[in-house]
Structure formats: C-alpha cells, structure tokens
Amino acid sequence: MKGVDEIPGQPLIHRAQWLMPVCAAPVANGAVFTSGGRVVFAGAYASVKKECPAGTRVIDHGRAALFPALVNSHTHLELSGLRGKIAFPQPGFREWIRLLFDLRAQTASEAPERALRLGEKESFASGTGLCGDITNGGAARRSDWGGVERLIFLELLGFNLDSLTSSMPPGLLLDPSGLIPAPHSVYSVSAPIISECKEWTRGRGLPLTMHVAEHVDEIEFLQTGKGFCRELLESLGRFPPGWKPPGKTPVEYLDWLGALDANTMLVHAVHLSESDWALAAKRNCSVVFCPRSNSNLGAGRARIEKALSLGLNCSLATDSLASNTDLDLFAEAAHVFASHPAIDPEKILEMITVNPARSLGRAGDFGCIAPGATANMLAVALGAGANESSLAQSLIESGKKGAWKWVNNQRA
Ligand SMILES: [Zn+2]
C-alpha cells in the first residue's frame, strides 16, 4: 500500500465511482475535498469540483467506494502476542479463561509495548482508524507510532476491593494520562467500584465500557452466588466472605447501581432476557457485539437483530487476539453477514463505523465522511456492475478480501 498524499494535509479532491459516507446516502461518481487532515465537503464530483479552489489536485480511485476508516470499539491490543496460542473453538468460557491465565503468567516478562505495536499494526492493516482499547496497565501509555488512534480504557479488577483508588494498578493515575477507568465485569469488580467508575466517567462525559452477560456462569453467580465465577474468585483469594448475591441479572444489577445510560457500552451482551433488552433500550445504552469471539469461546450467540429492532446503538468489535483470529472488522462484518441473514448489509456497515464512533464519543470525527471528520478514509475496490442496491454487500466482501487501500493516511 502506498499513500497518495505526498504533502501532509495538502488540499485534495478524492474521486471514486461511489462515495459511501455512511451517515448519508451513497453518491454515484462521488468525491471528497480534504484539507489539513480533515474532510471539507463531500458529495457528487461535479458539485465538489465547483466548490474547490481552481487547480486543486484530483486523485481518481476509479472503480472503488470511498468509505470511512473503521472503528473497533472493543479490543485488548496488549494481548496481541497471544495470537495463535489458543485453539478455537474452545469448549467454553471457563476453559478459555484458565488457558488465558496460564498464558498471561508465562508471558508476563514480555514487554507489553511489543504486543501493543503488533496489535496497532494489525489494526491499521485492517483499515481501523480508531480503537476502544482495553489495557490492564501494560499498554497504558500512548504509543509513539500513532498509526491508529486509541481511546485507552484502564481495566479494573477487584471483587474484594471497595474503591476505584484501591483497584488502580500501582504507578498509574487517571486524569493526567487520559486513561478511562473500565470495570472488567460484574463478577470481577465490586459494586462500589462500578458505581465510582460510572460517576467518574459521567462527570467527564466519557463512556463506561464493561463486559456484560458474556457467559452463563455470570448469570448464575449474580442469581445464586455459586458456580464457576465463585470458584474462580475463591481460587484467586478475591471472594469476600459474607457477600450476598443480588438475585438480579447483570443488566438489572448495573441499573440498580445507576450505571446504565446513553454513555454505557454493554460489551458482548450475549445472555440478556427480554426484560433486560427492554431495560437496555429504555436507558439508551450502546451494545458492542463480538460474535466471532463468542463463537470461538462457545459463549453463545448474541441477538443482534433484537438489539437493532429496539433501536439500540449497536457495534461490532473484534475483542482480542486471545479470543479471535484477527483484528479485522471487515471479517467481523462478513461473519455477521453470513450468520445473521436478516440484518441488512447497510446496518452491518454502520456497526463498524458510525455506531462505534458514537459509543466512544467520537462521532463527527470518525465513522462518517462528512465535513470536519478525519480525512483518513478507505478506498474499497468494487466488483464490476456494483450498483446502489449491491454496494453495501460488495463493500463487505471486498473489505474481507483486503481489496482496499488507505486514502490520505500518512502511515500508508
Ligand atoms: Zn474484552
């Protein structure tokens, strides 16, 4: 791949057979005027050309669609060194988590920066411009490479701890570093920490992201206080004696803690009841589905159609290379296109662009080709005869094949 913009930020018109802005209808013979690393305007080539200063250089991408850089709202790039070390499918979540613990112990001496760089490069090579990246502390610093923008969530653990401060990894601070606290899950973090994290993120207008109802053991634990999650906590010495199960579903429990609103990202959301879905919709939560990870871990099949029908802001994410084979959102989209045939391909494309950008609080910057957005875009090759009705499907198929290139990205 070669970049086409030799002088960073110079005014350019990018033209292609189709413009797929995502937040607006596709435009045949479309174009985007970019300057200073931002989109200035986008639309039909004739009207863009008319608006631009005379002599603005035109780059014609030919039989392709201009498409926004992808947004992966849930991944753990610091686990990228584990690629290929866990065979899929795993029999279940509990078998997988034991393997993960063993592997993380074996690789504890390896520099997390190396794994982070691997993950960043793979994300970039898959067309991703922005990640919601979870770290346990090893990849808490911003990388000097910068090919992919990261919103860095610091994952907190501590079922036996009672404050956000006590669950912080040693040597890390939140505000000065731009880290966003993210409780891991309802079975690994105590109620006071979840409440405090929500208060912290709410006060700063930032998202609260959390693994929710990923597997059935989590449901059992909150209902009865027993099962695999209890055994796991006891084996780690983190089960506080006297703890009583709330007798609620994970979604009910989070609502009871005041943690659900439009800035809450429910990640996985595989095991939700009808009333959980209604509650998530009432609170206007975002939902982040990781269907290939769920399938690889035998965690179940998420009801993506249900969430979309309720109008929830839904995204697709890859999760990490410890539970997925790659970090390619086009591959995630192709998986959903094949396995959830009732979902329109246009909706699938929204789930890897504008919807995750919205859930990360970065709509306007990422996920759409519109004035003010980043000029880093993709030109996705189209098959012969691609028309408006087949455009979305064609984009997913070409994207999965890797038939695209970066536009305007200095790293390309
Ligand atoms: Zn995860």
How much is the average pLDDT of 329-342?
98
Q: How confident is the model at residue 113 (pLDDT cuts 50, 70, 90)?
A: confident
Beta carbons of 90 and 296 less than 8 angstroms apart: yes
Express each pLDDT in 34-82 by its tens digit: 999 999 999 999 999 999 999 999 999 999 999 999 999 999 999 999 9
SS3 323: coil
Q: How far is the CA of 30 from the centre of ligand 1 (A)?
A: 37
Q: How far is the CA of 287 from the centre of ligand 1 (A)?
A: 13
pLDDT for 147 beyond 90: no
SS3 51: helix
pLDDT for 8 beyond 90: no
Residue located via tokens 């912080």: 168
pLDDT recorded at residue 257: 98
Q: How far is the CA of 166 from the centre of ligand 1 (A)?
A: 22
Q: How confident is the model at residue 3 (pLDDT cuts 50, 70, 90)?
A: very low
pLDDT for 309 beyond 50: yes
How much is the average pLDDT of 365-375?
97
d(CA 99, CA 79): 13
Ranges of H-type helices in 262-303: 274-282, 291-296
| 242 beta partners | none
pLDDT for 409 beyond 90: no
Lowest-pLDDT choice from 160-164, 270-274, 405-409: 405-409
pLDDT recorded at residue 108: 77
What are the structure tokens assigned to 11, written together? 């005014």
pLDDT recorded at residue 314: 98
Express each pLDDT in 184-240 by its tens digit: 999 999 999 999 999 999 999 999 999 999 999 999 999 999 999 999 999 999 999
Q: Which residue has the higher pLDDT, 97 or 409?
A: 97
How much is the average pLDDT of 348-374?
97
* CATH code that applies to domain 12-69+367-407: 2.30.40.10
Q: How confident is the model at residue 106 (pLDDT cuts 50, 70, 90)?
A: confident
d(CA 29, CA 7): 25
pLDDT recorded at residue 6: 55
d(CA 290, CA 270): 9
* CATH code that applies to domain 70-359: 3.20.20.140
Lowest-pLDDT choice from 126-130, 160-164, 177-181: 177-181
pLDDT for 146 beyond 50: yes
Indicate the average pLDDT of the chain.
95
| 362 beta partners | none
Q: How far is the CA of 76 from the centre of ligand 1 (A)?
A: 6
Q: How far is the CA of 320 from the centre of ligand 1 (A)?
A: 7
Q: Where in the chain is the domain with CATH 2.30.40.10?
A: 12-69+367-407
Q: Which residue has the higher pLDDT, 166 or 177?
A: 166
Task: Tell which residue, 32, 28, 29, has the closest CA to residue 11.
Answer: 32
pLDDT recorded at residue 338: 98
Q: How far is the CA of 211 from the centre of ligand 1 (A)?
A: 6
Decide: residue 79, CB within 10 A, 0-12 exposed, 13-18 middle, 19+ buried. buried
Q: How far is the CA of 248 from the centre of ligand 1 (A)?
A: 22
Q: Where in the chain is the domain with CATH 3.20.20.140?
A: 70-359
Task: Tell which residue, 282, 300, 280, 281, has the closest CA to residue 290.
Answer: 300
Q: Which residue has the higher pLDDT, 130 or 145?
A: 130
pLDDT for 140 beyond 90: no
Q: How far is the CA of 209 from the centre of ligand 1 (A)?
A: 10
Q: How far is the CA of 66 from the centre of ligand 1 (A)?
A: 30
Q: How far is the CA of 139 from the centre of ligand 1 (A)?
A: 15
Q: How far is the CA of 133 from the centre of ligand 1 (A)?
A: 9
% of the chain at pLDDT higher than 70: 98
